[in-house]
Chains A and B, each alone.
Chain A
Amino acid sequence: MLEQFRKFGRELFLQGVNSSHSGNISVRMGDRIVITRRGSMLSDLSERDLIETGLEEDDSHIVLASTEVKIHRAIYRATSALAVVHAHPPAAVALSFTGDSIRPIDTEGIYYFKSIPVIATELTVGSDEVAEKLPPVLADYKVALLRGHGSFAVGQMLEEAFQWTSSLEATCRVILFARMLGLEAGEASEEW
């Protein structure tokens, strides 16, 4: 498991979707979750950065877990996800200020996402409001954005949640480039 956390933690940094100490990732193992340590450096994780705690119940390890553990738990309770990746992808965060959802315009983005919902909350870090609003959205979407904060992606395994994060940023960059060229792109439209 450490190998997986190390691999995708490092990739998130290398791809520029996290700064040195931002983001957190977790996996669910039944009624337990393993989540990165609060303040850990995702590009250089070691065994002590992986914190196991309960999905429903706290134990002593909770003091070591990421600040976002509440959000991860809420996502696992509301969805069938087995892995969650939280990142701060800059292009996606920039676009999150422009609407309530983002509609991909490139082939990869259209292929993977019907749209990317944007959720606005007063407090965006580890708040009850996020824990309430975000998980139901992730029951419907692979990835969602918290306005001005970052992305949460879900999957059956870490690689999948990582992929949605990476693809999200790629598709948002294409929209930004298209807009820089003066094209209208990425606005929400009706979803089927």
Chain B
Amino acid sequence: MPYNGPMGGWHGKALKVDLTRGTVKGFPLEEELLRDWLGGRGLGVRLLAERGPGIDPLSPENPLIFATGPLTATPVPTAGRFCLVSRSPLTGTVFDSNSGGRFGVKLKRCGVDALMITGRASAPVYLYLTERTAEIRDASDLWGREVPEVTEALREELGGDCSVACIGSAGEKGALLAAVMNDVHRAAARGGLGAVMGSKNLKAVAADGSAEVATADPERLRYIIRESRRWIKANPVTSRGLPLYGTAILVNLLNELGAFPSRNFRHSSFPEAEKISGEVLAETLLIRRKACWGCPIGCARMTRAGGERGEGPEYETIWALGAQCGVSDLEAVARADYLCNKAGLDTISTGSTIGCAMELAEKGLLPGGPRFGSASDMLGCVRAAAEGTGLGRELARGSMRLAEGRGAPGLAMQVKGLELPAYDPRGLQGQGLSFATSNRGGCHLRAYLVGPEVLGIPKLVDRFSTGDKPGLTIFYQHINAAVDSLVLCRFLQFSVSDDHLARFLSAVTGIRFRAADLHRIGERIWNLERSFNLACGIDASQDTLPPRLLREPVEEGPARGRVVLLHEMLPSYYRARGWTQEGVPGGAKLSELGVPRFVS
């Protein structure tokens, strides 16, 4: 039954755009589908799964799905985000990437919950959406231009208050590290979904909706929001740390723990971390702080470096273009960040791949390659990757392909092809398990055990223990999948409980959801993603980590002598999930969760 509730949150409608045929059609979203998969990541993955798992990521048939959530564009804190879903050309896995700014709000206000784009236009196009129109328009004059110019040109042309999601040169050239950028500086960065967009000859989506999103019980919602704001204010992470120093607040914290890797994870800390810390960034480059739509936290940084202004760099970027490359010049890191944002490159994967190239060069496997510690080499590599020239062509394909091509696959710090982010799992065992078991590859946000292992949220656990980590990892993989489907910011979870999230959803939709329901939905999403990956040939053999993290003990600092004890955690993880010891969800499990089958 198409969604036709008394309530609010969802529109119950999506758009199907076929760029080959040049058509745009609306289609209803069933009520059951929305209840079971919510929106964002869950809805996107479910729609992707309907198309089947075997599609080549860069083929016209691979859908690129922009999805909002039931809370998007409501007054719920951080509800301005959207989710991008597709099969990744970088990892071959199911993939979702989540971004802030305000594009999600403008898209939702066009009266649709999701936008599914397939096909390939014969010439560059962009999509223009409002609550009355959905048009495929010529973008020949935008092709070849970088993100800020494209955004400015479209805003000028379309007037009003439109929000633009687009690709830069990286996406056009099919770089596997290409991001989709929105509102100039925000990025659905990981997994190379910018290349999927480029493969469709789709330069941009400009959304300018203004339709209000209804809420079922506005008075109750106001009450719950007021309560949540009190929690956000009371928690020093969300009221002091992130607003004052941005995500870079983590640099010194993680470095002190011996969990801030440097020089391609050869070390688990970086002696010069202080120079690239959030505190130094605030003293030197910061112009002002900035917040995404509807966010009371405001972790984004507007900065100035090298005579330019831009946004960032954030924690992961500082690590990737800084410590991972042995670079301690914060201004150079910021300039590299700006370059990535303009060209539409994932800063984590770009920096991590450059770090890999530096080690290859040091070992003589990449003659004349970049050197650890050289800011100019790092910047040169970013430029080359953005332009797709020289070594940049190799870098833009990611570390796994680079290291394999140079005969040293073990030097790529990646899982399932996705570069690892800024946490050395030898100092954080749970994070190690969550990297290895992530459905989209080496990602910190799937479980994000930084809460319990570093910040003590909700309580500090022993970061070196292994017995408790399978349960905790699964717990967070589920709730985070649900939050990505609502689509809210991960940082809200530092202050607001699962129960509170369920109350937001209940007040907005008029349907009673409990925290346990969100966990159940998260488990459903996780099992669907796993089944999709298995059907793509990505099995338990890829639930692993780079050999360095499993076999090379940390030589110094608080994590000295540690490796990731994955063999102690993985069997318990599978068993706790109710999967076989080969990591396969059984038929009974999938039926119980209502997950469509791809594998028997």
Contact = CB atoms under 8 A, between A and B. Distances in A.
Contact of A192 (B223, B458, B519, B576): B223
B363 interface: no
Interface string A25-62: 00111110000000000000000000000000000000
A30 B470 contact: yes
B101 to A, nearest CB: 31
B467 interface: yes
Contact of A160 (B459, B474, B507, B576): B459
A192 B575 CA distance: 37
A80 interface: yes
Given A31-B578, A157-B472, 13 more contacts: A28-B471, A29-B471, A29-B572, A31-B576, A80-B516, A80-B519, A155-B458, A156-B459, A156-B472, A156-B475, A157-B452, A157-B468, A159-B459
A188 B461 CA distance: 35
A82 interface: yes
A101 to B, nearest CB: 16
A178 interface: no
A29 B475 contact: no
A52 B582 CA distance: 24
B499 interface: yes
Interface of A: 1, 27-31, 78-80, 82, 111, 139-142, 155-157, 159-160, 163, 192
Contacts of B514: 139-140
Given A139-B516, A156-B452, A192-B503, A80 B470 contact: no
Nearest to B224: A192
Interface string B569-582: 00011011110000
B534 interface: no
Interface residues of B, number: 31
Contact of A80 (B224, B234, B478, B578): B478
Contacts of B223: 192
Contacts of A31: 575-576, 578
Contacts of A155: 458-459
A30 B471 contact: yes
Given A31-B575, A140-B499, A82 B458 contact: no
Contacts of B220: 192
Interface in B107-133: none
Contacts of A79: 516
Interface in B475-505: 475, 478-479, 498-499, 503
A22 to B, nearest CB: 24
B253 interface: no
B515 interface: yes
Interface in B426-469: 452, 458-459, 461, 467-468
Contacts of A29: 467-468, 470-471, 572, 576
A151 to B, nearest CB: 17
B317 to A, nearest CB: 30
Contacts of A28: 471
Determine which residue in A141, A155, A156, A157 has the highest number of CB atoms from chain B within 10 A of its CB, and name it. A156
Per CB-CB distance, the 3 closest pairs between chain A and chain B, nearest first, are A30-B576, A139-B516, A80-B519
B389 to A, nearest CB: 49
Nearest to B476: A156
25 contacts: A1-B467, A1-B468, A27-B471, A29-B467, A29-B572, A30-B471, A30-B474, A30-B572, A31-B576, A80-B519, A82-B468, A82-B472, A139-B515, A139-B516, A140-B515, A155-B458, A156-B452, A156-B458, A157-B458, A157-B459, A159-B459, A160-B458, A160-B459, A192-B223, A192-B503
A157 B576 contact: no
A23 B238 CA distance: 36
Nearest to B230: A111
A30 B473 CA distance: 11
Contacts of B499: 140-142
Interface in B207-232: 220, 223-224
Interface in B176-200: none
A34 to B, nearest CB: 9
Nearest to A34: B467
Contacts of A30: 470-471, 474, 572-573, 575-577
A155 to B, nearest CB: 7
A27 B576 CA distance: 13
Contacts of B498: 80
B318 to A, nearest CB: 30
A157 B224 contact: no
B459 A27 contact: no
A45 B220 CA distance: 46
Nearest to B474: A30
Contacts of B474: 30
B315 to A, nearest CB: 24
A80 B479 contact: yes
Nearest to B523: A80
Contact of A157 (B461, B507, B519): B461
A80 B479 CA distance: 9
B475 A82 contact: yes
Nearest to A111: B234
A57 to B, nearest CB: 12
Interface in B402-440: none
Contacts of A78: 516
Contacts of B459: 155-157, 159-160, 163
Contacts of B471: 27-30, 82
Nearest to A155: B458
Contacts of A1: 467-468
A160 B460 CA distance: 10
A167 to B, nearest CB: 13
A139 B474 CA distance: 17
Contacts of B573: 30
Nearest to B503: A192
Residue of A30, A31, A160 with most chain B CB atoms under a 10 A cut-off: A30
Interface in B509-545: 514-516, 519
Nearest to A29: B471
Nearest to A140: B514
A27 B468 contact: yes
A1 to B, nearest CB: 6
Contacts of B577: 30
A87 to B, nearest CB: 18
B599 to A, nearest CB: 22
B576 to A, nearest CB: 3
A192 to B, nearest CB: 5
A157 B224 CA distance: 26
Nearest to B451: A156
Interface string B337-367: 0000000000000000000000000000000
